Amino acid sequence: MHPELFTDGIGEITVSGSIVRVDLTSLSPTERNPDNTPRAVLRQRVIFSVEGFANSVDVMQKALQGLIDAGVVRRTGAPAPADGDGRGKGSPNFR
């Protein structure tokens, strides 16, 4: 059996030259945010070449489209939350 890793999402994506680092996070069972919600904590980092990352995004987009077509996921079309400059939140590498 191969080791498996569960993740609740991606915390940060950092691009440095030709390397892309993707930080996978999960909700902590013990750590809390000030509003008493579980805090997202780093669990693992996946490191890609730029080409490998681009190929992975393409595979994930195809998987997402399959989930949408099957009715498992519904796209709302809601824009990303703005952070004051109207460009959304997320990694500073993509602002």
Task: Report pLDDT digits (tens) over 50-61.
Answer: 999 999 999 999
Task: Report pLDDT digits (tens) over 14-48.
Answer: 999 999 999 999 999 999 999 999 999 999 999 99
The mean pLDDT value for 86-94 works out to 47
Q: What is the residue extent of each domain of the chain?
A: 1-73
pLDDT at 95 over 50: no
Decide which of 63 and 77 is more confident: 63
Determine the pLDDT at residue 87.
Answer: 44
Question: How far apart are the C-alpha atoms of 6 and 15, rounded to whole Å?
Answer: 23
Determine the pLDDT at residue 11.
Answer: 95
Question: How far apart are the C-alpha atoms of 16 and 60, rounded to whole Å?
Answer: 22
Decide which of 47 and 85 is more confident: 47
**φ and ψ at 72, to 5 degrees?**
-75, -35
Given the structure tokens 């009715």, which residue do they identify?
Answer: 71
User: Mean pLDDT, the chain, as a whole number?
Assistant: 86
